[in-house]
């Protein structure tokens, strides 16, 4: 692979910054004003990356761009990154690969968000500034009638205690590689989490692609929830109706297709990091053997 020349990587960096500023203009303005937002806030708080981190461009794995070091930019040592983050890299790789091989399922109809408010009044939810579309009794009846089939642990763990026994599965962290599947909205949102954990081995372009995917998914996630987002201009996806469930499943399928190339690109990164790390371990074993001999 040929190293990027200064004019090439500077053009990529400028294009990336312009793209991020354009896409995040409204979100950054709201953050400066201290305004809450039912879609954006989740991305900043749950995934722990900030707009400034998305703005900074880095090339990802590969030959160091010509003239890259300097002006606050440091060389990326993939082997050192592997040594420090091998557990994270291997864990990400295992989940990404197992999810890629799993059969997508589209029958949950977004009931995980309803199960998170099951039995609660408005002021008791995780988002107390948001109104609910239905009374607690009506919300509970919807969950019980539609049924709960959530397979993703990081959604299931936020269910209210009385909602958990209603779920078809009882996901755990240990079962995650077996249960995560590419039709799940939260699994596809989590591609952004893994991209963030793999920075700077992941390029800024891939990181931001995963962010935009997560943002679009979160919008659907909240529109299909029991919350009323009319004040923010979001129409509900009425999963309490057959028509709404069909709409939700169609959107799920679209996100599964859109997530596929992002997941594949992340697997390329983890595969290469594991190869480099394993190669280095082999070299160290040979060297150690020679010294001991």
pLDDT digits 0-9 by tens, 176-185: 999 999 999 9
pLDDT score recorded for residue 284? 59
Over residues 231-288, the pLDDT tens digits come to: 999 999 999 999 999 999 999 999 999 999 999 999 999 999 999 998 877 665 444 4
pLDDT score recorded for residue 252? 98
pLDDT score recorded for residue 289? 43
Rounded (to 5) percent helix, strand, coil in the chain: 65, 5, 35
How many CA atoms lie within 13 Å of 289's alpha carbon, on the beta-carbon side? 6
CA dist 267 and 99 (Å) reads 11
Over residues 111-167, the pLDDT tens digits come to: 999 999 999 988 899 999 999 999 999 999 999 999 999 999 999 999 999 999 999
Encoding tokens for residue 119? 């039995």
28 with 51: CB under 8 angstroms? yes
User: Which pTM was predicted?
Assistant: 0.93
Residues 6+ apart with CB under 8 A from 35: none
Continuous segment of H or E residues that includes residue 112: helix 111-115
Continuous segment of H or E residues that includes residue 227: strand 227-228
**CB neighbour burial string for 90-114, b if at least 16 within 10 angstroms, e if fewer:** ebbbebbbebeebebebebbbbbbb
CA dist 154 and 27 (Å) reads 25
How many CA atoms lie within 13 Å of 197's alpha carbon, on the beta-carbon side? 19
CA dist 166 and 240 (Å) reads 17
Average pLDDT of the residues of the chain: 93
In Å, how far are 41, 110, 223, 260 from 252, measured between CA atoms? 22, 10, 13, 12
């Amino acid at each position: 692979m040929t190293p990027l020349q200064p004019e090439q990587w500077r053009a990529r960096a400028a294009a990336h910054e312009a793209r991020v500023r354009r896409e995040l203009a409204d979100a950054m303005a709201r953050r400066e004003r201290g305004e809450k937002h039912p879609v954006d806030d989740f991305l900043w708080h749950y995934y722990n990356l900030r707009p400034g981190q998305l703005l900074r461009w880095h090339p990802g794995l590969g030959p160091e761009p010509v003239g890259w070091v300097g002006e606050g930019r440091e060389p990326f040592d993939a082997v050192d990154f592997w040594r420090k983050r091998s557990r994270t890299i291997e864990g990400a790789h295992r989940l990404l690969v197992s999810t890629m091989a799993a059969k997508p399922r589209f029958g949950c109809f977004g009931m995980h968000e309803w199960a998170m408010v099951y039995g609660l009044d408005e002021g008791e939810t995780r988002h107390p500034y948001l109104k609910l579309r239905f009374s607690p009794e009506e919300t509970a009846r919807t969950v019980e009638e539609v049924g709960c089939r959530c397979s993703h642990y990081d959604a299931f763990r936020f269910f209210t205690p009385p909602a958990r026994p209603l779920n078809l599965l009882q996901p755990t962290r240990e079962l995650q590689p077996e249960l995560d599947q590419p039709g799940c909205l939260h699994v596809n949102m989590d591609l952004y989490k893994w991209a963030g954990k793999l920075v700077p081995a992941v390029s800024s372009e891939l990181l931001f692609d995963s962010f935009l995917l997560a943002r679009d998914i979160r919008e659907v996630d909240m529109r299909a929830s029991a919350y009323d987002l009319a004040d923010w201009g979001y129409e509900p996806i009425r999963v309490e109706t057959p028509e709404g469930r069909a709409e939700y499943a169609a959107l799920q399928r679209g996100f599964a297709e859109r997530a596929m190339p992002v997941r594949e690109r992340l697997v390329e990164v983890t595969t290469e990091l594991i190869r480099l790390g394993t190669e280095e371990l082999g070299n160290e074993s040979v060297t150690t053997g020679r010294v001991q001999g």
